[in-house]
């Protein structure tokens, strides 16, 4: 007797593969070689003004300053603009839980509970269910922009974009016939470099992993806090040191609101992890400026004391609606933090064990460990050969991520034996990089004419 575990779901591998082939016959991969500009895109100034809504006024110049730093920096803060361009473009009809902002700098290293350093998609502010092609096109375009920023030749930039797509296809094909339990957690660690013939990246990966191992709550506490002794009460604790505008203290009302939010956050964790977090006590709360796309939104660091001299730092980061939501009208959510957490847990091989969500002063937030063995490879600093290896690695990780929410056999059927997708998206990526350079220049002109204020600020 054979029957699906979930009523109504097709589980026969051959039938799913055939369905994918049928989709490819109707929507061939070559159609992804389309115009860069979409009919729904707003003007750059209108897009930036709309994106300022809900941000803290005093931090808007910092957001603008980061976006005008380079075309790649602009691209990092413009996921919604690309979504407008992709809306209405051809796609296979297969939906996945997509990152929504799968540019090359949003793949990073982090630590697992057992101490391993893995690499995966690591930013899910925009995650939503949507066309898998949108993530792949954003990755390919970002590789061209990152390569140009690093002085890589135009040929090598396009090769990196095409090879990221080729790697995506190959991994889908390989995992499409692999045991489901193996494909679910594939390609997480350094061994993936040899599997993907990306050994040239081994030195950079090793250096980034070693740096990530030092990126801990203890190190943050040592560098960003000071010890306060209350001799009359016989107590000692740490508090954050101010480093304006990036790190600053908050008033007591805000600190209490964040602390109250953590009380409800605890119930979004799995039961055993609630017991773990309950052992810590809150020592201090500070405001921390983050990111390019997130610059100007509310983000707090919470210092907690644990066993003996142990410190834990949590980030409580405001969760805004996905920038893709206007272009994927079927998407609905009740709590934006919950959307991000559920998307992260579904897509990542192993997510932060303390990842959860909460509400602070009526606004949704996510909560996660801060600097949890986190590291990265800067794609703008890679040579042409290394950028190509990085593209193959990112494309493979993206494929594995998508296959956790779209059936491997179905997507493998769509991509089966058709390498036209590589060149189609590669050509699109070059055109979109050109469009982004034009958009960036338009924003720079708007700053120069005084329409937008801009301020410099390091991360």
Kindly report, residue by residue over 238-247, the tens digit of the pLDDT.
889 999 888 9
Same domain, 153 and 227: no
Domain contains 4: no
* pLDDT, mean of residues 274-301: 93
What does pTM read for this prediction? Answer: 0.93
For residue 402, the SS3 value is helix
* pLDDT, mean of residues 145-155: 98
Six token digits for residue 397? 């990780």
Same domain, 85 and 186: yes
Q: Which pLDDT score is estimated for 403?
A: 95
pLDDT band at 235 (very low <50, low <70, confident <90, very high): low
For residue 328, the SS3 value is coil
CA distance 327 to 329: 6
Check if the beta carbon of residue 366 is closer than 8 Å to that of residue 319. yes
CA distance 209 to 203: 10
Domain contains 388: yes
Domain contains 155: yes
Q: Which pLDDT score is estimated for 17?
A: 92
Helix 79-86 to helix 44-52 angle (10° resolution) is: 130
pLDDT band at 333 (very low <50, low <70, confident <90, very high): confident
Q: Which pLDDT score is estimated for 204?
A: 81
Domain contains 387: yes
Q: Could you tell me the residue range of the domain that residue 290 belongs to?
A: 217-369
Same domain, 289 and 420: no
Same domain, 333 and 258: yes
Same domain, 313 and 228: yes
Give residue 328's Cα distance to chain centre.
19
Q: How many structural domains comprise the chain? A: 2
Q: Which pLDDT score is estimated for 407?
A: 93
Domain contains 397: yes
CA distance 341 to 357: 7
Question: If you ran DSSP here, which 8-state letter would residue 307 be given?
Answer: S
For residue 9, the SS3 value is coil
Same domain, 35 and 171: yes
Same domain, 384 and 282: no
Instruction: Using the 3D structure, point to which of 338, 369, 400 is the last residue of a domain.
Output: 369
Instruction: Using the 3D structure, point to which of 353, 369, 385 is the last residue of a domain.
Output: 369
* pLDDT, mean of residues 224-248: 80
| pLDDT at residue 189 is higher than 80 | no
- From residue 180, alpha-carbon distances to 99, 170, 189, 290 in Å are 21, 17, 18, 37
Residues 6+ apart with CB under 8 A from 135: 96, 98, 99, 100, 102, 398, 402
CA distance 163 to 196: 11
Burial class of 33 by CB neighbour count within 10 A (0 to 12, 13 to 18, 19+): middle
Same domain, 206 and 298: no
Instruction: From 197, 186, 193, 139, select the one nearest 379 (Cα to Cα).
Output: 139
Instruction: Using the 3D structure, point to which of 346, 369, 392 is the last residue of a domain.
Output: 369
Domain contains 299: yes
* pLDDT, mean of residues 334-361: 94
Instruction: From 303, 296, 405, select the one nearest 347 (Cα to Cα).
Output: 405
pLDDT band at 332 (very low <50, low <70, confident <90, very high): confident
Same domain, 53 and 201: yes
Instruction: From 104, 99, 55, select the one nearest 76 (Cα to Cα).
Output: 104
Q: Which pLDDT score is estimated for 410?
A: 94
Same domain, 408 and 329: no
Domain contains 25: yes
Domain contains 455: no
pLDDT band at 4 (very low <50, low <70, confident <90, very high): low
CA distance 206 to 192: 13
Q: Which pLDDT score is estimated for 32?
A: 94
**Enclosing H/E stretch for 367:** strand 363-369
Top mean-pLDDT range of 6-20, 203-217, 434-448: 434-448
Query: Which tens digits make up the pLDDT trace of 209-225?
Result: 888 888 888 899 889 99
Backbone angles phi, psi at 325, to 5 degrees: -55, -40
For residue 400, the SS3 value is helix
pLDDT band at 89 (very low <50, low <70, confident <90, very high): very high
Backbone angles phi, psi at 403, to 5 degrees: -75, 0
Same domain, 242 and 187: no
CA distance 183 to 198: 20
Same domain, 153 and 17: yes
| pLDDT at residue 361 is higher than 60 | yes
pLDDT band at 355 (very low <50, low <70, confident <90, very high): very high
**Enclosing H/E stretch for 368:** strand 363-369
Question: What's the chain's average pLDDT?
Answer: 90
């Amino acid at each position: 007797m054979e029957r699906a575990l979930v009523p109504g779901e097709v589980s026969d591998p051959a039938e799913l593969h055939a369905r994918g082939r049928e989709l490819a016959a109707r929507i061939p991969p070559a159609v992804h070689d389309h115009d860069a500009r979409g009919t729904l895109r707003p003007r750059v100034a209108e897009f930036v003004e709309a994106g300022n809504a809900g941000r803290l006024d005093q931090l808007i110049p910092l957001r603008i300053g980061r976006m005008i730093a380079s075309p790649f920096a602009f691209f990092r803060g413009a996921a919604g603009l690309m979504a407008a361009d992709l809306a209405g473009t051809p796609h296979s009809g297969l939906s996945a839980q997509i990152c929504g902002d799968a540019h090359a700098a949003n793949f990073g290293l982090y630590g697992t509970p057992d101490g391993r350093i893995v690499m995966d998609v690591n930013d899910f502010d925009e995650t939503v269910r949507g066309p898998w092609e949108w993530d792949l096109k954003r990755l390919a375009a970002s590789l061209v922009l990152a390569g140009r920023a690093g002085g890589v030749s135009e040929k090598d930039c396009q090769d990196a974009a095409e090879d990221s797509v080729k790697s995506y296809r190959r991994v889908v094909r390989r995992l499409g016939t692999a045991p489901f339990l193996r494909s679910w957690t594939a390609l997480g660690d350094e061994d993936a470099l040899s599997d993907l013939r990306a050994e040239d990246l081994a030195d950079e990966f090793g250096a980034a992993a070693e740096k990530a191992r030092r990126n801990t709550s203890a190190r943050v506490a040592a560098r960003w806090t000071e010890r306060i002794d209350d001799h009359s009460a016989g107590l000692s604790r740490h508090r954050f040191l101010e480093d304006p505008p990036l790190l600053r203290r908050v008033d007591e009302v805000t600190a209490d609101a964040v602390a109250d939010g953590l009380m409800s956050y605890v119930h979004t964790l799995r039961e055993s992890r609630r017991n773990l977090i309950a052992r810590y006590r809150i020592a201090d709360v500070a405001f921390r400026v983050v990111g390019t796309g997130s610059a100007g939104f509310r983000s707090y660091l919470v210092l907690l004391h644990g066993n003996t001299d142990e410190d834990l730092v949590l980030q409580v980061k405001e969760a805004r609606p996905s920038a893709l939501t206007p272009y994927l009208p079927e998407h609905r959510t009740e709590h934006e933090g919950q959307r991000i957490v559920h998307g992260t847990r579904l897509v990542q091989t192993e997510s932060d064990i303390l990842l959860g969500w909460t509400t602070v002063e009526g606004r949704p937030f996510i909560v996660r460990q801060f600097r949890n063995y986190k590291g990265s490879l800067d794609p703008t600093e890679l040579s042409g050969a290394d950028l190509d290896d990085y593209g193959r690695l990112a494309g493979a990780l993206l494929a594995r991520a998508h296959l956790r929410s779209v059936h491997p056999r179905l997507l493998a059927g769509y991509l089966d034996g058709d390498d036209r997708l590589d060149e189609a998206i590669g050509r699109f990526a070059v055109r979109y990089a050109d469009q982004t350079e034009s958009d960036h220049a338009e924003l720079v002109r708007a700053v120069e004419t005084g329409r937008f204020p801009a301020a410099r600020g390091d991360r």
